[in-house]
Chains A and B, each alone.
Chain A
């Protein structure tokens, strides 16, 4: 069955370190999204991609970057981790505009 996976599921890092969170989907979807989930804020969009080599900034993109070298993967990089980036990160994908976004299991990141 097609799925969307994220790794690692849990990560503890230190302030200032570079961190990369992986997202891999086997749906062959063109559209991929990264969200962060924080108490009292719901889900907020970080970056998104509509296809290979396409990336776009979302609502809370500062301090994050993504790259899309193939259809299946959209890694999220925190260039220099900050305590404010402690959160749960969800990746999602969809096949076309307006269709359902399928979410991965999430990565819980703690920045000390």
Chain B
């Protein structure tokens, strides 16, 4: 069965610091990968997604992620975080098997940005 691992449970950064959140997955076939964000008290919103093509994916609010197939990784990056980026971030996988519309989520990484 597929699984998603997020290495950091809680990350604390100062404003303007660079961010990298780790995401590794286990599945041997073709995958679609997603990063979702959940701001305090709100529902999940899509940050970015990778289906195919350029492994460097750009999303909203200055976030990007790089799919490295050989490392089974899809790390999320932002060069300079803001206080408003304080949220919980979830990496998710959908494998491309027949009828596989479900997402498998990681346990999430809470990001706290200190002004």
Give, as a whole number of angstroms, the nearest-CB distance from A101 to chain B. 6
The count of chain A contact residues (Cβ–Cβ below 8 Å) is 23
Known: A90-B43, A103-B43, A106-B43. A48 touches B102 (CB 8 A): yes
Tell me whether A98 and B51 are in contact (CB under 8 A): yes
A45 touches B100 (CB 8 A): no
Bound CA–CA A90/B92 (angstroms)? 15
Q: Which of A41, A58, A104 contacts B102 (CB 8 A)?
A: A58
Query: Are A104 and B96 in contact, CB atoms less than 8 angstroms apart?
Result: no
Report B96 CB to chain A, min CB distance, Å: 7
Q: Which of A82-112 contact B (CB under 8 A)?
A: 90, 92, 94, 97-98, 100-101, 103-106
Q: Is B16 engaged at the interface, CB distance under 8 Å to the other chain? A: no
Pairwise interchain contact B42-A105, C-beta atoms closer than 8 A? yes
